[in-house]
Amino acid sequence: MTWTDIVTWIGTGITIISMIVTMLQAREAKSAAAHAEQMRGEISDRNAHSQLSSLSGVLSAAIRAMDKYGPGTGSTARRGCSPRSDAAHVRALTGEMKRLRKLLSERFGSEADDLINRINDLLVQFAEASSTADRDKFGCDIYNELVEFNGNIGNELDGNIFG
């Protein structure tokens, strides 16, 4: 055997060892990429959960503001209240919903946009009501929409927590 044969065999051995190391590193990189993707998904879910929790707080404030117009309440429940202030809480909610429109669309589909539009239409009618009875009716409708949406948000948050 000549020195060139020895160098060839050594080069071939180094090449085989390099190939094995490369394959091990590629497998490790693939595993790390899958783990990173899983972590990214978890972070995204936690962020969405946090934003929905924040929205739930604004929604609760809007429900409390419109509670006096809810079913079974009388005019005495609305004594001393300010319809403008009540409407402001609901407008704050719809503003937050618009800000989170992409997330809400992912979680609830087109129903979120429909809900925002329905609530805004009801708010216009609530503000332009010609009589107290009309305002009470539109307030009750807004209240019902908010309570239903609150249940949907609650189900979504519970699903994130309890699986």
Nearest C-alpha neighbor of 156 from the set 49, 44, 39, 42:
49
Alpha carbon separation from 46 to 40, 93, 100 (Å, rounded): 10, 21, 15
Q: For residue 115, what pLDDT band results from cuts at 50, 70 and 90?
A: confident
Give residue 131's pLDDT band: very low, low, confident or very high (50, 70, 90).
confident
Q: Of 72 and 63, which is predicted with more confidence?
A: 63
Residue 136 has pLDDT above 90, yes or no: no
Domains along the sequence of the chain with CATH: 44-162 (1.20.120)
